[in-house]
Structure 1
């Protein structure tokens, strides 16, 4: 993808701190990525896996996180619905906010769209503050710019306030 194309990317953050029936959270996340194409989400770029303490309660199991860029014909609401279907297939329980979870898929951006309506806010309102999102995103698309502000992922990574312990795994 050329730098000028970063702006059109659909950006999805992944995370898990429970392995469910899989051998590890890494295996669970890899299996979840295998489902993306079935939902019309074609992965074009993906980050390394990053580890970070659970937030807001660091006593919970640590998270494994990453970011993918996808191409899709789906609109933002359809993309979000596809991500929720994948989460459900992997046992995501949304009954308690910030609880440990098998799979968390966040729609960070859908191209350059800026919107806030009926449960969908783009870009994701807290992504720019989270190192476990901006670190992986800066790894694969340092020139990507946050819709609405134009700030680059590489710059935002240096200003994160949450998940400062996030580190890329080898």
Structure 2
């Protein structure tokens, strides 16, 4: 896996955020997220870069179990819609139940960006709130600080510095 990307690679990268607050049937949140990483390949998503795991308090209820988050860059021939469908299939395999927004969950996979695409229909990319979240932009800045938001043009490093949600997010020990 690479740890340096040129701007052309970053402009084409598909960015996926992973998170969980419940380990489900796994011994830990880390084990669940590592298994989810492996599952990406079965859906045609080849991981080319990955962040470390970051921890943050649950939002909007900090009394709920804390989250573990990370970001991966992937290569794929899939469209944005197909990537989102694949991510939802993986979430279902890991016991994700979509009952209540922001509820504790076993797995949350978000399509943050699909290259330089800007779509606002059945599928929305870039993710409409990811740029505000340190638990997304921090891990992305860790592996691709020069990645540029497809709409604002701001770098991941700049967006991490300006994040207003999940500002307690830090790399897990």
| TM-score, length of structure 2 as denominator length | 0.96
Q: Which runs of 5+ in 1 are unaligned?
A: none
User: What pairs with 1:9-158 in structure 2 (closer than 5 Å)?
Assistant: 9-118=13-122, 120-158=123-161
3-state DSSP of counterpart to 2:165: coil
Tell me the CA shift for residue 148 of structure 1.
1.1
Q: Which runs of 5+ in 2 are unaligned?
A: none
The size of the alignment, in residue pairs, is 169
Residue 160 of structure 1: aligned partner: 163
3-state DSSP of counterpart to 1:158: helix
Tell me the CA shift for residue 149 of structure 1.
1.2
3-state DSSP of counterpart to 1:105: strand
The more displaced of 1-10 and 29-38 is: 1-10
Provide the rounded CA distance (Å) in 1 between the counterparts of 2:6 and 2:156. Answer: 15
Moved over 4 A (4+): none
Provide the rounded CA distance (Å) in 2 between the counterparts of 1:121 and 1:36. Answer: 20
Say whether 1:2 aligns with 2:3. Answer: no
3-state DSSP of counterpart to 2:85: helix
